[in-house]
Structure 1
Amino acid sequence: MSQQSQVIITYARRKMARARCYITPGKGRVFVNDIPLEIIPMEVVRMKIMEPLLLAGEKISSSIDAKIYVEGGGVMGQADAARMALARALVKFTGSKELEEIYKVYDRTMLAGDPRQTESEKWMRYSARRWRQKAYR
């Protein structure tokens, strides 16, 4: 496969959010749901998605174009899913074990994910675990 036609597709999940990341050789542009990453209004979300690029370095991040499509879940769940998909795609694109180790040392969930889900609400309860207070008298 030539460098020009190389497209890396990765997938990640966090809670109810799902993210797909497409990486191609390019100029360093990153789009989330067809919106440039630079104009995403929430700075916390923007920085969370940019973490893999910052850790990878300027050389790698300026040589790729990434399109991330996120759906489901909340804002931070989507940010985590996008971050994980981007990190996995960068590792796959570069084929670098060194980059993979950098991500694992920084935050293991960048590559491995977090399987925790919210617990569903039970019948006759206020929430997943809360019950009416027991009265003995």
Structure 2
Amino acid sequence: MERQQPKGAHEATEQAAGQFIVSVGKRKTAIARAYIRPGSGRVRINGTPLELIPMEVVRLKIMEPLIIAGDAVRNVVDIDVNVKGGGFMGQAEAARMAIARGLVEFFSKCVLDQSPEGCERSRAVAEKLKALYNEYDRTMLAGDYRRTEPEKYMRYSARRRWQTSYR
């Protein structure tokens, strides 16, 4: 027997789903999902505020898309990123890609302002962000296809062979 939803529940879930953008970034074996919604500039990585991440290199790598976009863009969105797999640098680059892709998608879908002129302004911001990200570093949006080469049979690693003695 099917459970009936209360009246208006379907519309409420559709409305809530339209309020945020989900984007994915991958680097090596790390996968990051960024949830971007209208807000006040809060950024969390696996539930931890970005400012509390101990390694400065990782923090700056994750902040790159926000620094390039500027405070006008950063202060109108809240970003929650879930990252798993890989090492800390791969996770940072995956999170960076997810944030950059998410910001472009967020502004191209007119989440903040639904009016025609607001939507046009938002799409212009998305195009500008896309151009800035591509100019700074193409892998922010396009990704890096390189993967580790698998280890071969009867070898120590992908390329390393047994040492041979000729004398």
1:42 equivalent to 2:55? Answer yes
Bigger fraction of residues in helix: 2
1:93 is displaced (CA, Å) by: 1.0
Structure 1 unaligned regions, length at least 5 = none
Structure 2 unaligned regions, length at least 5 = 1-13, 109-125
Q: CA RMSD in A?
A: 1.4
Q: What amino acid is the match of 2:166? A: Y
1:121 is displaced (CA, Å) by: 1.4
Using the size of structure 2 for normalisation, the TM-score is 0.77
Q: What amino acid is the match of 2:71? A: E
Name the counterpart of 2:75.
Answer: 62
1:121 equivalent to 2:151? Answer yes
Secondary structure in structure 2 of the residue aligned to 1:78:
helix
Q: What amino acid is the match of 2:22? A: I
Bigger radius of gyration, 1 or 2?
A: 2
Post-superposition CA distance 1:76-115 (Å, at most 9, x none): 0000000000000001111211110100000000000001
Using the size of structure 1 for normalisation, the TM-score is 0.94
State how 1:1-137 maps to structure 2 within 5 Å: 6-95=19-108, 96-137=126-167
Distance across 1 between alignment mates of 2:106 and 2:68: 15
Secondary structure in structure 1 of the residue aligned to 2:22:
strand
Secondary structure in structure 1 of the residue aligned to 2:80:
strand
1:120 is displaced (CA, Å) by: 1.5
- Identity between Structure 1 and Structure 2 (%): 58
